[in-house]
Structures are given as C-alpha cells and as structure tokens.
C-alpha cells in the first residue's frame, strides 16, 4: 500500500528531474494535509540552498511554531546537514525518508535531537537517484555528492 504523502514527494522529485534539476522532492504535512511541497531547484534557480526540503518549507509559508511541532516532513532522500538543521530549527518531530541507499544524510544527528525517522527505502526513490547519479555524476557531485 502506497503512502499518498510519499507519492506526492516523489511527484515533486519527478517534476524537478523534468525541469532539468536534481530529482529530490519533499512535502510538509500538518493534520493530514500537505501545507508545503517542493523539489530541489538548485539548477533551475541557480541557488546553493534550494534543496527539496527547503523548497517545501519555503512554499509552506509562515506558520506558528506549533504547526511545525505537529508536522511531518516527507523527503525522497535522506536529508543533508542543511535540511536537517532546518528540520531541527523548526522542531519538526517526524521525518519520512524515501531512501538512504544512494546518500546517507544526518540521520544519526536528527535522532540525537529526538526526531523520529522512518526510512522507507522505496524502490522508486532509489531508482530515481541511481539513474540520475549515473547520468549526471558531475551535477550530483557539485553539491553533496562524494
């Protein structure tokens, strides 16, 4: 059974890829509805910081602290240091991670701050990143790749 919120994050990742960018998508969910969605737009916007999670937070707009503290962020790829910092800063208590096989972000750091992580290792997320890294290794390595 598929998760509609992870599905929405994957749709965002596919949109980013179709735009010529990096296929990482994210959605911010509060009380059972998506309040922000986004995808990595570093390439499209020439931005060093517009990762999928950051785009979803930006597109969610301003909310009271209690909204973030009762939200879940879904991301197709394990969150990097920057995105993990934003998750911790806003007190988002739960992260659903599409996959951490192609990149292992700051999961231990997040857990150490009490964030609940659910790593799904969804085959669609893994395939998206594996194909992208194989096709565009220089672009992947430009940011957080090896």
Name the DSSP class of 3.
Answer: -
Sequence-ordered strand ranges (E) for the chain: 25-30, 33-39, 71-75, 94-97, 116-119
- 87: nearest Cα among 76, 101, 75, 104: 75
Cα separation, 14 vs 129, in Å, equals 10
Q: Collect all residues with Cβ–Cβ distance below 8 Å to 39 and sequence separation of at least 6.
A: 12, 13, 15, 16, 21, 23, 24, 25, 26, 52, 55
From the list 12, 14, 53, 146, the catalytic residue is 53
Q: Is 146 in the active site?
A: no
Report, as residue numbers or ranges, the catalytic residues: 53
């Amino acid at each position: 059974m598929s998760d509609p919120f992870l599905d929405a994050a994957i749709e965002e990742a596919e949109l980013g890829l179709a735009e010529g960018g990096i296929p990482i998508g994210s959605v911010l969910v509060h009380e059972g509805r998506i309040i922000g969605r986004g995808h990595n737009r570093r390439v499209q916007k020439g931005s060093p910081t517009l990762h999928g999670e950051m785009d979803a937070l930006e597109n969610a707009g301003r909310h009271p602290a209690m909204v973030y503290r009762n939200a879940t962020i879904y991301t197709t790829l394990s969150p990097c240091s920057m995105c993990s910092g934003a998750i911790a800063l806003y007190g988002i208590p739960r992260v659903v991670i599409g996959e951490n096989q192609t990149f292992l972000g700051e999961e231990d750091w997040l857990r150490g701050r009490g964030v609940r992580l659910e790593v799904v290792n969804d085959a669609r997320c893994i395939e998206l990143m594996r194909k992208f890294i194989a096709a565009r290794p220089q672009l992947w390595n430009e940011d957080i790749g090896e």
